[in-house]
A = this chain, B = another copy of it.
Amino acid sequence: MKKHRRTVSRIRWALFVGLVAAALVTSVAVEARAARHAQPATDPAVAALRDQALQSDAAWKLLASLTTEVGPRSAGSAGDKRAVEWALAAMKGLGLDDVRSEPVVVPHWVRGENSGEILAPFPQKVLLTALGGSVGTSEEGITAEVVGFPTLEALQAAPDDQVRGRIVYLDRRMERTKDERGYGEGVGIRRDGPATGGKKGALAVLIRSVATGNHRFPHTGTTFYGEAPKVPAAALAVPDADVLAAQLASGKPVRFHLKLTSRVLADEPSANVIGEVRGATHSDEIVLLGAHLDSWDLGTGAIDDGAGCAIVMAAAKLIAAQPRRPARTIRIVLYANEEAGLSGARAYAKEHADELPKHVLALEADLGAGKVWGLRALAAPAGRTFLQEVARDLAPLGIDWLEPAAFGGADLSPLEPAHVPLADLAQDASEYFDYHHTADDTLDKVDPKSLAQVVAAYAVTAWRVADSTVAFGPAPPPPPRR
């Protein structure tokens, strides 16, 4: 009995202590949050725009429509042309101004049938896909011994006679990072591996997919031959790369059969699709929000870059629906053919060369639908100072000011010679490279709430910059590109 009473009193004491501790923790957290928010108040109109964006399903509906009604839309394909029609109709439906397409000629590479098989020491088919732009094999395919290298550097350092007449395999694993660092460091095997192997006399080059995650999808993406002999190039899905690596590790000779019917067809017409929210007082000054309309052929391009298209379109729709227009024009540009060589981006820079000095700031959404966690800029000091203020308006979305400078989406690179100022709304890319450039890039991989947060970040940033008369440029020279 005594023991029972002691237990009860101990439980009471534990409850009391727990409650006191919880109350203290709560009060400390409330104080900390108040301190963090001690900053110049956000304009109520901007706060309202931000909250509307968070509540809006506009981007989700656009993305569901694009992926359901168009689906894959690689440069030059029938889907590419349908995507242009879709974007024109969708922008008009959103009430944007001066909706139009600007013609772009795009290359038309087709994947064809891709197959690979380990013949020895342990026969097994593997899942692989051609790298974008790869030449095909002959009709019979290529059968040869595989020589493996852990990195591009190891292949570069290898004597030619270790490579000549063989199939090269590059086994480097990509690191998972919140930003694009892991990809930037890992993509070399895809970009430069085939050219490096071709120069040394390889018959073909295989790579471990430049990817995070371990689902059984090969990840495609463009390879660049430059002046090197063009050899067939393909990426293995991660589990298949594991099997090939394990068989190579057995020390027995590994023979492989590769067949790709990939080829380049005649160029095709495509288009950049453009719509605007015309500025109230300084309509000749342009705040450019970009994304790319093309996708790879394997998936429905939900994260790359349907999400980007939906984000910038939804941001423009929300701004267009405000009680008044901002001073400057917000221009939405959905670029043709980002994936296979930036055709649309180059065409835009050329077509709008005279107007580039009036491009106040440019941003591109091309990293999926992960939440924005930072804002960074490549701009003159007055522009940077202004964007630091904007970052404070974005703080309730969990967004901080970031250093070093912005490097812009790939489609913005042709604007650099004109010193167009850039900003990046840095998105969480932790899971992006699980799906990037695969058949698994589909609508279900997008979180509607996260997508709405990105729209809010773009809408607030675009509104603030367009509603100011601050000079953001000329931009300093850009940092080295990822």
A38-46, A177-185, A237-245, A466-474: which lies at the interface: A237-245
Interface size class of A (residues with CB under 8 A): 35 or more
Find out whether the CB atom of A64 lies under 8 angstroms from the CB atom of B21: no
Find out whether the CB atom of B18 lies under 8 angstroms from the CB atom of A14: no
Find out whether the CB atom of B13 lies under 8 angstroms from the CB atom of A24: yes
Find out whether the CB atom of A21 lies under 8 angstroms from the CB atom of B24: no
Find out whether the CB atom of A444 lies under 8 angstroms from the CB atom of B17: no
Find out whether the CB atom of B442 lies under 8 angstroms from the CB atom of A216: yes
Contacts of A72 in B (CB 8 A): 124-125
Interface residues of A in 108-148 (CB under 8 A from B): 122-125, 127
Contact among B17, B28, B239, B443 with A239 in the assembled complex (CB-CB below 8 Å)? B443
Q: Does A385 contact B (CB under 8 A)?
A: no
Find out whether the CB atom of B28 lies under 8 angstroms from the CB atom of A24: no
Find out whether the CB atom of A216 lies under 8 angstroms from the CB atom of B246: no
Contacts of A214 in B (CB 8 A): 442, 444-445
Find out whether the CB atom of B443 lies under 8 angstroms from the CB atom of A124: no
| Closest Cβ neighbor of A442 among chain B residues | B239
Q: Considering the chains assembled together, what is the distance between the CA atoms of A17 and B13 in angstroms? A: 11
| Closest Cβ neighbor of A127 among chain B residues | B439
Contacts A127-B439, A215-B215, A216-B442 given; does A247 touch B68 at CB 8 Å = yes
Find out whether the CB atom of B14 lies under 8 angstroms from the CB atom of A68: no
Find out whether the CB atom of A14 lies under 8 angstroms from the CB atom of B10: no
Contacts of A239 in B (CB 8 A): 300, 440, 442-444
Q: Considering the chains assembled together, what is the distance between the CA atoms of A81 and B386 in angstroms? A: 71
| Closest Cβ neighbor of A216 among chain B residues | B440
Distance in angstroms from A369 CB to nearest chain B CB is 15
Contact among B127, B440, B443 with A215 in the assembled complex (CB-CB below 8 Å)? B440
Q: Considering the chains assembled together, what is the distance between the CA atoms of A435 and B69 in angstroms? A: 28
Find out whether the CB atom of B69 lies under 8 angstroms from the CB atom of A122: yes
Q: Does A197 contact B (CB under 8 A)?
A: no
| Closest Cβ neighbor of A17 among chain B residues | B21
Q: Does A299 contact B (CB under 8 A)?
A: yes
Which of A21, A64, A67 has most B Cβ within 10 Å? Answer: A21
Q: Considering the chains assembled together, what is the distance between the CA atoms of A25 and B216 in angstroms? A: 44
Q: Considering the chains assembled together, what is the distance between the CA atoms of A71 and B443 in angstroms? A: 32
Distance in angstroms from A86 CB to nearest chain B CB is 10
Q: Considering the chains assembled together, what is the distance between the CA atoms of A123 and B72 in angstroms? A: 10
Q: Considering the chains assembled together, what is the distance between the CA atoms of A123 and B10 in angstroms? A: 69
Distance in angstroms from A152 CB to nearest chain B CB is 24
Contacts of A21 in B (CB 8 A): 14, 17-18, 21
Contacts of A70 in B (CB 8 A): 122, 124
Which of A10, A72, A444 has most B Cβ within 10 Å? Answer: A444
Given contacts A68-B122, A242-B444, 4 further A-B contacts (CB under 8 A): A14-B28, A68-B247, A239-B300, A242-B443
Instruction: Give chain A's interface residues, CB within 8 Å of chain B.
Output: 10, 13-14, 17-18, 20-21, 24-25, 28, 64, 67-72, 78, 122-125, 127, 214-217, 238-239, 242-243, 246-247, 299-300, 438-440, 442-445
Q: Can you name 10 A-B pairs with beta carbons within 8 Å?
A: A14-B28, A21-B21, A71-B243, A72-B124, A127-B439, A216-B440, A239-B300, A239-B440, A239-B442, A242-B443
Which 10 residue pairs spanning A and B have beta carbons closest together? A239-B442, A71-B124, A69-B122, A216-B440, A214-B444, A68-B246, A14-B24, A17-B21, A216-B439, A21-B21
